[in-house]
Amino acid sequence: MSSTFTLDGKTIPFDDGQTIIQAATKAGVFIPHLCYHPEFKPHGSCKLCTVKVNGRHTASCTMRASAGMVVESDTEEINAERRALTQMLFVEGNHFCPSCEKSGNCQLQATAYHLGMMSPHFDHFFPNRAVDASHPEVLLDFNRCILCSLCVRASRDVDGKNVFALSGRGIKTHLIVNAKSGQLADTDFTPDDKAAQVCPVGVILKKHKGFAVPIGERKYDKAPISEVTETTEGR
Amino acid sequence: MTLNEMHAEAVAGIVDRVVARYRRDPSCMVQILREVQEACDWISPEAIDRLQSTLGVPRTKIEGVAGFYAFFYTEPRGKYRVLFSDNITDRMLGSKAMMDRLCNNLWIERGKVSEDGLVSVAQTACTGMCDQGPAMLVNNYAIAGLTAERVDQIAELIRDKVPLADWPPEFFKVEDNIRRADILLGSDLKPGDALRAARARTPSDGLHSSNMRSWREGLPSGIGGPAALLDEIKRANLRGRGGAGFTTGLKWEACRNAPLKAGQQRIVVCNADEGEPGTFKDRVLLSKFPDLVFEGMTAAAYAVGATRGFVYLRGEYRYLLDHLNAVLAHRRREKLLGSDILGIPGADFDIEIHVGAGAYVCGEESALIESLEGKRGTPRNRPPFPVTNGYLDQPTIVNNVETFAAAALIALNGGEWYAAIGTKQSAGTKILSVSGDCARPGIYEYPFGVSIRQVLEDCGASDTQAVQVSGPSGICVAENEFDRVIGFEDIPTAGAFTIFNHSRDMFEVARNYVHFFQHESCGFCTPCRVGTSLLKNLMDKLHNGHGSPYDFAEIEKLNHLLQAMSHCGLGHTACNPVLDTIAKFRPAYDRRMEHDDFTPAFDLDRALAAARQMTGRDDPAAHITTKSGEAA
């Protein structure tokens, strides 16, 4: 590990095979992201972590670091683009923060604050998405799904269950569960599954525990997302 | 036994038969689903039950794949599933009137299944019959050249429940319409000649020769054939014909030099997912010159040392499958495929055909490979590239149909012969799919360097306003640019050449293309998934008379975002048709700028349309009138 690249002028060391975001995180530099999670294989779909490498846009969660790269991340231009992507995610689903149990612990909301998003800007799509309350212990509110596929990867790669998958195409892409009935209660999902812990937004919610921590005292209420260390817990 | 149980048993029998034919291999999922649907009319939950147990894959995987492709139905769509091609050329030839006629005839509503579950009528993206539209697919079999009379006959056949196999064969006749032939379309190559020539060729003085490997390891004599062929391909300066124009020799060499892990082999893939609206030349190459294409693939396999090949045939060309399989079988009998090709020990290569299922994005090579592996057709993260990590992680080349056809001729005649055709930067010929406003639509093969004006003259186009070259993801050329030429140095193209005369509204052309991209976005990345929908909404807003300069700014902003942030070329180019037409046909947009200040897209009267339809009312009292007193 002798190689380095520069990120917004700062020298960042990296190990062979590390991606830009991995090296940046290790060096304490925050790059906004939603579908990336340090414990899982990168997906590269939300595009929030896009940076400019030698002047070209690329997702920092899938691009491997190489010596001498010149990477720009925290610039006005890139943050404006990230803000627009965040706005897209907001209008694509139905996100009503004030009534959401995940408010304050939600990465989408925290990222929007971080990027200074003041309005959704685009016209809302108001999609019609049903809630799956079939499971006795866990609620699925698809209205908030941002299609990051973290639950898909967690269930497949860690739990070995394949409870979740993406189906449909384009704007009709949606999360499905592994049951003929299409209901979570008919899958082998349990609240202890890794897949139950990784949703960055408020789709996978544990029942009977609503608002156990009051709004105002939650993770991102205390510190902005850029300062909260990436851990597996509480996401 | 109940009726349901009998149904489930019958479905299980079909599924078992199909799954067995594909060796219980989940990587053939797309083919398995296609065949199950061909037999059962749709992919029912019972079919998925059985697939799950026989293939041993989770239900989510099957449903995820089935849900991705437009031609797979997880809900019943009728015994007859009619899809009208909705390319702009079909529209110009009156497809909408044909569709309305069929719907009226059958008493059904567009997009819905008839109440007796017999038939559905809907639309699909360009089916590659632009020179003989309007066209439709019935259960994925193409019917072109629709007339009112033909539509009435089709309605009758459906009402009488005549099986598709018993419909008059002339309905399914597809014309080649070859209008101008050059080296490819004029080729009379005898099957095997190109391979024999490649084998006989000795390496030149190490001009480009790379390290020796592959087929020739098993060759007792004729050392150097593959490397010599690769040299010829490089010397020919052949570049990919699918649109991107990557140098074929470099791609092949990278694949050839990619290390193989234990048990791996190299793969040759022919990209026949000709999905770009307005393109249909691969259809003609495959129907008229399949041996040329297969010979090119086999030559490629010889050069890179591949043992397995695929043709990824777009679902719209399903009707070509049996013919192509027959040609492959013939080549096997002639020792031009299979093991010990041409009697060379160890020269093993075979080709199988995979049929797509209605997904434009699968024309992108890594998405195509995902689809070949039986997955959702989502483009991969790159690097690594397919030449090192392609089909099932093996070194893979993916080339366009026309590229392989050209490669066969280069194998036969050599690189210098080929490089002398065309221009300095663009060697060889290009086949153009000419359609739209002209007297002689069809396919035209020219040496590179031909001007737009020349093509227009040859096809009998007059009063031309614009030409969309290379489809929606290409470029829209206006009258003052007609002296520009086809070639990598000026206007590169995958082959589409769609002509619009002055009576056409270029805004509506762009809007059709924007709808296309929105429909075909795979949904993987945020910018393309949401951005193409936002763009579609903006174009619809302009169409509906709510446009203002604000919306222009929004379109430009979206364009920048899609270009910068999208995962693949689909998103990168989705705004092209709009930007081009704004720049070159501004009056078509200015007519839509009905407001100086921002106006919302929402229209109360339009929002009530659903209620009017449900109540069967259309009287003045069922409308909200605007300030000016007119019904909106």
**Span B243-257, average pLDDT:** 94
Collapsing DSSP to helix, strand or coil, B547 comes out as coil
Among residues A75, A148, A82, A71, the alpha carbon closest in space to that of A115 is found at A82
Residue of A nearest to B44 (CA): A180
Banded pLDDT at B224 (limits 50, 70, 90): low
A28-37, A38-47, B611-620, range with the lowest pLDDT: B611-620
For residues A20 and A71, the answer to whether their CB atoms sit within 8 Å is yes
Residue B308 near chain A (CB below 8 Å): no
Residue B384 near chain A (CB below 8 Å): no
Compute φ and ψ for A214, nearest 5 degrees: -65, 150
Tokens of B293: 């294409």
Give the span between the Cα atoms of B578 and B551, in whole angstroms: 12
Partners of residue A81 in chain B, C-beta under 8 Å: 560-561, 564-565
Residue of A nearest to B564 (CA): A57
Do the chains contact at B530 and A89, CB–CB below 8 Å? yes
For residues A165 and B375, the answer to whether their CB atoms sit within 8 Å is no
**Span B339-367, average pLDDT:** 93
- Tens of pLDDT along A77-100? 999 999 999 999 999 999 999 999
Do the chains contact at A171 and B523, CB–CB below 8 Å? yes
The phi-psi region of residue B410 (left if phi > 0; otherwise alpha if psi is between -120 and 50; otherwise beta) is alpha
Q: What is the per-residue pLDDT for B1?
A: 65
Residue B101 near chain A (CB below 8 Å): no
Residue of B nearest to A55 (CA): B564
Q: What is the per-residue pLDDT for B5?
A: 80
Distance from CA of B216 to the nearest CA of A (A): 35
Closest partner residue to B526 (CB to CB) among A62, A89, A163 is A89
**Under 8 Å CB-to-CB from A186, ≥6 apart: which residues?**
A134, A179, A180
Residue of B nearest to A166 (CA): B64
What burial letters (b/e) apply to A76-108, b meaning 16+ CB within 10 Å?
Answer: eebeebbbbbbbbbbbbbbbebeebbbbbbbbb
Distance from CA of A214 to the nearest CA of B (A): 32
Q: What is the per-residue pLDDT for A230?
A: 58
- Select from 3.40.50.300, 3.40.50.410, 3.10.20.740, 2.60.40.10 the CATH code of A3-74: 3.10.20.740
Quote the Cα angle for A115-B555-B608, to 5°: 100
**Span B71-78, average pLDDT:** 96
- Tens of pLDDT along B107-154? 999 999 999 999 999 999 999 999 999 999 999 999 999 999 999 999
Q: What is the per-residue pLDDT for B607?
A: 86
CATH 3.40.50.970 assigned to domain A90-210+218-223? The reply is no
Give the span between the Cα atoms of A87 and A98, in whole angstroms: 17
Distance from CA of B359 to the nearest CA of A (A): 9
What angle do the packed helices B290-304 and B248-257 form, to 10 degrees?
50
Q: Is the pLDDT of residue B271 over 50?
A: yes
Among residues B473, B497, B471, B472, the alpha carbon closest in space to that of B486 is found at B497
Do the chains contact at B564 and A57, CB–CB below 8 Å? yes
Distance from CA of B380 to the nearest CA of A (A): 9
Q: What is the per-residue pLDDT for B217?
A: 43
Q: Supply the DSSP symbol for B606.
A: H
- Tens of pLDDT along B2-41? 778 878 889 999 999 999 999 999 999 999 999 999 999 9
Do the chains contact at B529 and A173, CB–CB below 8 Å? yes
Residue A158 near chain B (CB below 8 Å): no
Residues in chain B, overall count: 632
Interface of A with B in 132-151 (CB under 8 A): 146-147
Do the chains contact at B523 and A178, CB–CB below 8 Å? no
For residues B403 and B425, the answer to whether their CB atoms sit within 8 Å is no
Q: Is the pLDDT of residue B213 over 50?
A: no
Closest partner residue to A84 (CB to CB) among B63, B66, B561 is B561
Confidence (pTM):
0.94
**Under 8 Å CB-to-CB from A36, ≥6 apart: which residues?**
A21, A42, A43, A46, A49, A61
Banded pLDDT at B624 (limits 50, 70, 90): confident
Closest partner residue to B526 (CB to CB) among A47, A165, A176 is A47
Give the span between the Cα atoms of B314 and B320, in whole angstroms: 10
Do the chains contact at B567 and A44, CB–CB below 8 Å? yes
Partners of residue A121 in chain B, C-beta under 8 Å: none
CB atoms within 10 A of CB A185: 15
Cis preceding-peptide flag for A32 (omega within 30 of 0): no
Give the span between the Cα atoms of B272 and B353, in whole angstroms: 10
Q: What is the per-residue pLDDT for B69?
A: 97
Distance from CA of A213 to the nearest CA of B (A): 31
Closest partner residue to B565 (CB to CB) among A81, A172, A173 is A81
Q: Is the pLDDT of residue B288 over 60?
A: yes
Residue of B nearest to A51 (CA): B565
Residue of A nearest to B551 (CA): A122
Interface of B with A in 64-83 (CB under 8 A): 64, 66-70
Partners of residue A122 in chain B, C-beta under 8 Å: 534
Domains of chain A by residue range: 3-74, 90-210+218-223
Distance from CA of B621 to the nearest CA of A (A): 29
Q: Is the pLDDT of residue B394 over 60?
A: yes
Q: Is the pLDDT of residue B309 over 60?
A: yes
Which of residues B347 and B396 earns the better pLDDT score?
B396
Do the chains contact at B67 and A168, CB–CB below 8 Å? yes
Interface of B with A in 25-54 (CB under 8 A): 45, 48-49
Q: Supply the DSSP symbol for B442.
A: E
Tokens of B612: 């009017």
Do the chains contact at B45 and A44, CB–CB below 8 Å? no
User: What average pLDDT does the structure give for chain B?
Assistant: 92
- Tens of pLDDT along A186-212? 999 999 999 999 999 999 999 998 888
Helix (H) or strand (E) holding B83: strand B80-85
Q: In this structure, are strands B496-501 and B429-436 parallel, antiparallel, or unpaired?
A: parallel
Do the chains contact at B58 and A179, CB–CB below 8 Å? no
Beta bridge partners of A71: A7, A53
Q: Supply the DSSP symbol for B486.
A: B
- CB-count exposure of residue B246 (10 Å: 0-12, 13-18, 19+): middle
Q: Estimate the share of chain B in helix, then strand, then coil, as percent rounded to the nearest 5.
A: 45, 15, 40
Residue B359 near chain A (CB below 8 Å): yes
Among residues B335, B308, B279, the alpha carbon closest in space to that of B397 is found at B308
Do the chains contact at A47 and B525, CB–CB below 8 Å? yes
Q: Is the pLDDT of residue B214 over 80?
A: no
Q: What is the per-residue pLDDT for A211?
A: 86
- Tens of pLDDT along B465-484? 999 999 999 999 999 999 99
Do the chains contact at A165 and B58, CB–CB below 8 Å? yes
Do the chains contact at A45 and B526, CB–CB below 8 Å? yes
Number of A–B residue contacts, CB under 8 Å: 117
Q: What is the per-residue pLDDT for A229?
A: 64
Q: Is the pLDDT of residue B209 over 70?
A: no
- Tens of pLDDT along B154-195? 999 999 999 999 999 999 999 999 999 999 999 999 999 999
Residue A172 near chain B (CB below 8 Å): yes
Amino acid at B60: T
Closest partner residue to A57 (CB to CB) among B523, B524, B565 is B565
Report the share of chain B in percent with pLDDT over 90: 83
Q: What is the per-residue pLDDT for B243?
A: 85
Residue A167 near chain B (CB below 8 Å): yes
Partners of residue A167 in chain B, C-beta under 8 Å: 60, 63-64, 66-68
Banded pLDDT at A138 (limits 50, 70, 90): very high
No. of H helices and E strands in chain B? 25, 14
For residues B531 and B574, the answer to whether their CB atoms sit within 8 Å is yes
Do the chains contact at B381 and A62, CB–CB below 8 Å? yes
- Tens of pLDDT along B533-558? 999 999 999 999 999 989 988 998 99
- Tens of pLDDT along B437-449? 999 999 999 999 9
Do the chains contact at A162 and B60, CB–CB below 8 Å? yes
Partners of residue B530 in chain A, C-beta under 8 Å: 88-89, 91-92, 171
Partners of residue B556 in chain A, C-beta under 8 Å: none
